[in-house]
């Protein structure tokens, strides 16, 4: 039996030495270590031997099995290393080639617009102020001269927060950025010049020109001797910087509860240049913002004496500005996350 084991050993190692591929190595393994191999048959037949023969043959057979398995593993590693070296030799790497380009990240067009508008007003002496998205009813309505029964509330369908009412009323998601102006009037002392970007929320259906979550940017100035001429000068300068020097501007009266008198600013349509088209509804003009002299009651509620100080305020829908500037017809493009659209900015 020991001579038979030795013969298997010599034959197996001799055959292993001549193998040079993974496929032949697998065939060798099946032949010498598989279920039907001579070595496996010897191990299965040990029970028929005497005790002394069983000990000697069993030890020799198990030692041979261990040797063949280790030799097979080493041979496999050598074959894999040889194949990898051969494969690497077929390829050449030109280290002078430029790397693969990765697209540079950019700010979202709405973020770009916010920063550009804030930069314009900062250069005019304003400071950027922000406020909470979850607002008290008082700052969103009451402090802005919009009591509970006021019809202006009907155009601002609101998201109310289910929390107990406090001394400032119920909580809600702010419906306009002017709520920040109410806080500014209460907390800051004149002279005041603030620009206030804000995400706002209204419970309404979405379409090409409306969203239930969008952005406002409001402004406020409070000081002695401020007049309507100051308001027009600041806003006309802003329009020329944002839309261009040659853009026509129209100023006319309008009504808002928190200003008196109130007005609106429109620019000539960039599509028809004032001749009338579908975009401007044949008027030749596109409204961009509302404004006016801050209502005395709003100042009084914030602790500022309207007999000593005057103020102007304005507010605009932020998404509308790049839509008019670039000729974008659907406001939803800004939030559909379509990279083909976003990469244009």
pLDDT digits (tens, 9 = 90+) for 57-99: 778 888 878 888 888 888 889 888 888 887 776 766 777 888 8
Q: How far apart are CA 194 and CA 188, in angstroms?
A: 10
Locate 130 and state its tokens: 């922000």
> Which pLDDT belongs to residue 128?
97
Q: How far apart are CA 261 and CA 293, in angstroms?
A: 6
Locate 225 and state its tokens: 């001797």
In-domain check, residue 96: no
In-domain check, residue 97: no
In-domain check, residue 103: no
**Residue whose tokens read 């020097």:** 245
> Which pLDDT belongs to residue 62?
83
What's the predicted TM-score (pTM) here?
Answer: 0.68
Domain co-membership, 181 together with 289: yes
Domain co-membership, 149 together with 241: yes
Provide Rg for the chain, Cα atoms: 41
Domain co-membership, 235 together with 157: yes
> Which pLDDT belongs to residue 65?
84
Residue 7: which domain range? 2-88
Domain co-membership, 19 together with 167: no
pLDDT digit string, tens, across residues 89-144 = 676 677 788 888 888 888 999 999 999 999 999 999 999 999 999 999 999 999 99
Q: Which of 107, 329, 290 is nearest to 208 (CA)?
A: 329
pLDDT higher than 90, residue 197? yes
């Amino acid at each position: 039996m020991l001579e038979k084991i030795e013969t298997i050993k010599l034959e197996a190692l001799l055959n292993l030495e001549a193998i040079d591929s993974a496929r032949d190595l697998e065939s060798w393994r099946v032949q010498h270590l598989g279920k039907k191999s001579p070595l496996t048959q010897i191990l299965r037949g040990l029970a028929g031997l005497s005790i002394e023969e069983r000990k000697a043959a069993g030890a020799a057979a198990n030692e041979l099995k261990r040797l063949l398995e280790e030799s097979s593993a080493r041979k496999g590693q050598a074959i894999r290393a040889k194949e990898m070296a051969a494969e690497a030799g077929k390829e050449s790497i030109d280290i002078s080639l430029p790397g693969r380009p990765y697209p540079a990240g950019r700010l979202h067009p709405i973020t770009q617009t916010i920063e550009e508008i804030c930069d314009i007003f900062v250069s005019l002496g304003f400071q950027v102020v922000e406020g909470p998205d979850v607002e008290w009813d008082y700052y969103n309505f009451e402090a802005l001269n919009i009591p509970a029964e006021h019809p202006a509330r009907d155009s601002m369908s609101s998201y109310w927060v289910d929390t107990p009412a406090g001394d400032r009323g119920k909580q809600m998601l702010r419906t306009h950025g002017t709520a920040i102006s109410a806080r500014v009037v209460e907390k800051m002392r004149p002279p005041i010049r603030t620009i206030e970007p804000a995400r706002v929320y209204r419970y309404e259906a979405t379409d090409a020109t409306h969203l239930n979550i969008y952005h406002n940017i409001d402004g406020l100035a409070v000081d002695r001797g401020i007049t309507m001429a100051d308001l027009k000068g600041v806003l006309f300068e802003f329009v020329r910087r944002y839309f261009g020097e040659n853009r026509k501007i129209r100023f006319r009266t309008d009504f808002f509860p928190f200003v008196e008198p109130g007005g609106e600013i429109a620019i000539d349509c960039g599509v028809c240049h004032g001749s009338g088209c579908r975009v401007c509804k044949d008027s030749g003009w596109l409204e961009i913002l509302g404004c006016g002299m801050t209502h005395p009651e709003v100042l009084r509620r914030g602790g500022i004496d309207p007999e000593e100080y005057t103020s102007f305020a304005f507010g605009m829908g932020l998404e509308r500005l790049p839509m008019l500037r670039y000729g974008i017809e659907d406001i939803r493009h800004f939030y559909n996350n379509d990279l083909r659209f976003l990469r244009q900015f």
